[in-house]
Structure 1
């Protein structure tokens, strides 16, 4: 069966191209946010407003979602490991030694005070596969020195 997808509107050869499509829409799944597991909730609460916003809708979140989707089928289900990771990250972030209160006394830098756990929160709000990829990346980063890890 022949298909006609070009019409000539005049002798001057002006063409109207028709490109039939079943559905043509663009959905960026990387912007979709999931509820973080309860073990990770203190991490999100300890972040400054700027870092939390960046982790939930910025580049770290988009990267975490895409990496989680990319490796989702390859990563085994390890709910107890992810739970322990969330509890330990929350325990560390609740330490007063590394988590001073956001305050106006810090002036212009008030929204940058506190721990930078942006990547952890981005992974936590991107799903269990993203958390697993984040944990794996952290473990691999500890194997090599900084410059070497960066090149890999």
Structure 2
């Protein structure tokens, strides 16, 4: 049986620094194209749980051990990554300590969620907007409804 083609799976982590006032978030500046500022994350390895990939990617890119708090959502627009179709599970996590740019991160910085850098890579502006709404309301915003699924 031929192997079916499916989207690649990624895990992204919005890391809140719980030991700093206002709980700022950690973003990385990507070392490789597509360039720009991004939520830390990366591809899920074969045989790996998505949650484990999120924790691993956070540590690899920021040197921070994280505690996953909530699944913000799944992002699956076929055009979200110019390298090909990916689906990302995006988690909100918390950490303490001093983050350091590692692995695929050229630079790393800490930002207030309402003062983000540009440009943001991929669909991370949309994801961070959803995160801001989550922080304001305490609720996950539905990403779609039957009325919008067909593009109407």
Q: TM-score, normalised by structure 2?
A: 0.25
Q: TM-score, normalised by structure 1?
A: 0.25
Q: Name whichever structure is richer in helix by fraction.
A: 1
Q: Name whichever structure is richer in strand by fraction.
A: 2
